[in-house]
Every structure is written in C-alpha cells, then in structure tokens.
Structure 1
Amino acid sequence: MSSTPPPTSRRERPAKPALTRQVIVRAALDVVREEGLERLTLRRLATELDTGAASLYVYFRNVAELHAGVLDELLGTIELRGGEGDWRTRLTGVLRSYTQVLFEQPSLARSAMVSRPTGPHYLALLETLLALLAEGGVPDDRAAWGVDQLLLYATSSAVEHGTRGETTSGEDEFNALAAALRAVSATAHPRIAALGDDLLSGTGSDRFTWGLDVLLNGISRTPRPRR
C-alpha cells in the first residue's frame, strides 16, 4: 500500500488572514527585525504573507512607501507625554523617545532621512510637538518651520549613533580622532590646540539636550525671512 497521504482539500486548509494594510505592515516589521531593512522588498514580503506581490501594490505603491508604513508603526511606541516638567523638558523627552525608536533600527532611521511617514502615529508626534511649541509661546509661523528642524536633528542623531552601533570600530574611530586632535600643531591649528579635549567632551545625552536648546532658542527668536 502507498504511504503517500491523500491530498488535502482547499476547503479543509486553514483560511489565511485577510490581507490588510495593518497585516502587511506588521509582517514587514517582523522581516526588518529579523533580517534588516535591506531585505525588505515587496516580493520578499509577498512570500512571507503567502500571496502575490501584485496584491501588495494595492496597499503600497513602492518599497519607499512600505518603509514609511513600517516606520509609522514603530512611532506608535513613542512616549508622547514626554515625562514631567515644563514644555521644554517634555519636548526633549518626546524627541528622546523618538530618537531611541530610530536608534534601535538604524536602517529605518536612514530611511527616515529621505522619506517621512504619513500615518496616524507620525501625525500624533507632529501634533504633540506643535502643541508643546505653542505652550512655550513660539509663534505659529516659526513653529511650522521649526518642528521640521527638530525632527531632522533628532533623526540625524539617531542615524549617527545607530550606525556607529552597527560596527565594532566606533570606539577605535573616536580614539583615533582624539589622538589626532591632541597631536595638532598649535601653529597650524591654534584654535584646535586651544580647545583640545573640550572638542570631544560631554556625554551624548548632554550634547543632545544642548543641541535641542540651541534649536529651540533659535526657533523662538528668529523670524522667518520675508518674501
């Protein structure tokens, strides 16, 4: 007698979950966490979802739009309250949370530099930042441009530190730079020699907070150029 099992009727197979934008994004996020953003393509995702790539184009026009959807899903984990304190302290807390989300996914952080999500979580982040700027008395026109600078600064910080975390040479590079700065000629580079180790002083956290203070001071006091 043959040991080959009888074919299973399609009616007896468990039904696949309905294909929705949310289902696709969550599957894409699993691929990113396990294999990295570079492996996330519509074809790869179609295989993961046991469907055809053409089915995914109904929800996402291209891979860039898919990346934005995945990023927006991650932004749902941001702490939008920003902790306790005045508006500056809470705004800093929100952007720290945003940066941490991107820091944990360096490839997505790099993607965020060129393509922004448009989903509900990004809009919630944007609304929170604008509300905090308004609470701080920042004029609306400056807040409208300033929020872009704040997000760009936070995103680039995540890219810089996240990318360093992907390699084992980050500490070696820092030590090499420190050695180069200490060895400069005071005649050729007097300002570098004068500042010395102070060029690399401070913790990453302190530098991040100081950078935000610089931006916030400038945003609140700098009028937009007239046409």
Structure 2
Amino acid sequence: MRVSLGASLDDGHRCTAQAQLTRQPQTGGPGAHHHDVLHIPTSYWSLTKEYIWSVTKSQGDVVRVALEVLDEQGAAGVSMRAIAQRLGVRMNSVLWHVKSKSRLDELMADAIVAGVSLDGLPESWRERAAEIMRRYRRALLAHRDGAAVVAGTYASEPATLDTAEALVAALLDGGLPEREAAWTCWSLLYFVLGLTQEEQGDPHSLDVGGRAALTRVLPGLTDASFDERFEFGVGKLLA
C-alpha cells in the first residue's frame, strides 16, 4: 500500500512523496499477529527540512553566512551554491530569501557599510566628513575584498543611505552648494573605494618603461603607505 504525504508551501506549491506501507509479522511463531510499518522516504523529510528552514530563517541569516564565505574565500568564492552548502540546504532555500546573486551583493554591501558608526562625530563639518570617511574605510577593510563588494553595487539600502546622509549633511553644513556637496560626496566615496581596493589587492611592481615624468615620481606612485595616502586624498577633496 502506498500513502501520499505532502507539505504545503507558502507559495501555493505542495511537495509530495510516496510512503510504502508494509505488513511485517511479529516474532512468536505461527499465528502471530502482524503489524504495519510505514516507510517514509528520506526525500520527504529533506523537503520538509527545506521548508522549515525557509520559514524560520531570515534574509539576515543568509547575508551573515555570505559574509563568512567572503572573509574565508574572497569575493570570487561567494556563490549561492557555496552559501547553500554552508547552511546545509538547497540553493532554492537561499533564493527564497535573496532572489538573485545581484540582490545578495547589494545586501552584503549594505551589511559591510553598516559597520560605519555615526555616533560621536566631530562638530566641525570638515573634520566630521573626514572622520566619516575614516570609519567608512575601516568598515571596508574589516572584510576581505570589502571594497570590491561595495564598489560593485549601487545599493539604496538603509546603512548605505544613512552614511551618505551624514556625509552630505556635513558638506552642506560647510556651506557647499547642493550640487557641489553631491559631487564631493561621490568624489570622496570613489576615492576611498579605489584606494581600499588597491590596499586589499595583490601587491605589484610598477614598470614605467623609462618615462621621464613617471620615473621622477615613481617612489610616490609605489608608496604603500595607505594611511598617509588616504589622509592626503581626503584632505585635498575637503580643502
């Protein structure tokens, strides 16, 4: 005898599996009673586990695990499959929460920027803007390939918008016109993202091929003092 088992899903689908009902004799010789044993296939329990995981876990759980994979394997190692394997579920369960890889990238980027604290900022508009960028850089450096992940997205998410709001507010407090404040915000972000990507990338030598001007400034071009280069660049943009 076969029995159909099912679990209803929130999206209206139903996962089913066939269970085999068999009759087995009890020990005790001739005339012993029989009892029925219901054999439920492993696939049914697997599907049920997937459903329970999908409805009990959150989008934040997926993003947290994605950042763990990022820190261990770098941006190239982050995939839906890698996250699903880490969680012990199928890819569909991950997609239930984040829908696509590009959406996951946006959520990861915002989670990285969420590391920027906006508490206790200086009163001076220029120093306030500089301090926001220092904290922004530290948040990027807190994760392997953090700058590459953030630079590869255009995330209109809470932490990203809150950081931009604080930065633009500082620039407006400094008397910059609206358009100049917006463009200075972009310039600061682009500079820090680019510098931090270089800092997190593989070291490399620079061969200028005998070009006179580049040869003269080569020590400065290859200087690995990223802290000093950061302060110099931000200072120039806020001058």
User: What TM-score do you get using the length of structure 1 for normalisation?
Assistant: 0.69
Task: Return the offset for 1:208.
Answer: 1.6
Listed as ranges, the gaps of 5+ residues in structure 2 are: 1-39
- Greater C-alpha radius of gyration: 2
Please name the residue that 2:25 is paired with.
none
- Once residues 196 and 45 of structure 1 are traced to their aligned partners in structure 2, the CA distance between those partners, rounded to angstroms, is 43
> Identity, % of aligned pairs?
23
RCO comparison, higher one (Cα < 8 Å, 6+): 1
Task: Return the offset for 1:108.
Answer: 3.1
2:228 is aligned, of 184, 206, 212, to: 206
Paired AA for residue 207 in structure 1: R
Please name the residue that 1:221 is paired with.
none
Say which structure is richer in strand: 2
Given that 1:81 and 1:94 are in contact with CA atoms closer than 8 Å, whether structure 2 keeps it comes out as no
1:118 is aligned, of 148, 156, 161, to: 156
Please name the residue that 2:5 is paired with.
none
Please name the residue that 1:57 is paired with.
95
1:69 is aligned, of 107, 125, 130, to: 107
Please name the residue that 1:100 is paired with.
138
Please name the residue that 2:7 is paired with.
none
User: What TM-score do you get using the length of structure 2 for normalisation?
Assistant: 0.66
Given that 1:99 and 1:154 are in contact with CA atoms closer than 8 Å, whether structure 2 keeps it comes out as yes
Q: Evaluate the alpha carbon distance shift between residue 133 and residue 81 of structure 1 in structure 2; reply closer, same or farther with a 3 A threshold.
A: farther
What does 1:155-194 align with in structure 2 at a 5 Å threshold? 155-164=193-202, 170=203, 173=205, 177=206, 189=212, 191=213
Q: Evaluate the alpha carbon distance shift between residue 55 and residue 131 of structure 1 in structure 2; reply closer, same or farther with a 3 A threshold.
A: same
Q: Residue 88 of structure 2: SS of its match in structure 1? A: coil
Given that 2:109 and 2:155 are in contact with CA atoms closer than 8 Å, whether structure 1 keeps it comes out as yes
Q: Residue 145 of structure 2: SS of its match in structure 1? A: helix
Q: Evaluate the alpha carbon distance shift between residue 60 and residue 193 of structure 1 in structure 2; reply closer, same or farther with a 3 A threshold.
A: closer
Paired AA for residue 206 in structure 1: E
Paired AA for residue 134 in structure 1: L
Which shifted more, 105-114 or 144-153? 105-114
Say which structure is richer in helix: 1
- Root-mean-square deviation (CA, aligned residues, Å) is 3.3
What does 1:5-24 align with in structure 2 at a 5 Å threshold? 16=53, 18-24=56-62
Q: Residue 110 of structure 2: SS of its match in structure 1? A: helix
Q: How many residues align?
A: 192
- Once residues 93 and 220 of structure 2 are traced to their aligned partners in structure 1, the CA distance between those partners, rounded to angstroms, is 56
Q: Evaluate the alpha carbon distance shift between residue 118 and residue 49 of structure 1 in structure 2; reply closer, same or farther with a 3 A threshold.
A: farther
Task: Return the offset for 1:83.
Answer: 4.4
Please name the residue that 1:140 is paired with.
178
2:168 is aligned, of 130, 134, 141, to: 130
Q: Residue 58 of structure 1: SS of its match in structure 2? A: helix
1:152 is aligned, of 190, 197, 203, to: 190
Q: Residue 101 of structure 1: SS of its match in structure 2? A: helix
Given that 1:82 and 1:93 are in contact with CA atoms closer than 8 Å, whether structure 2 keeps it comes out as no
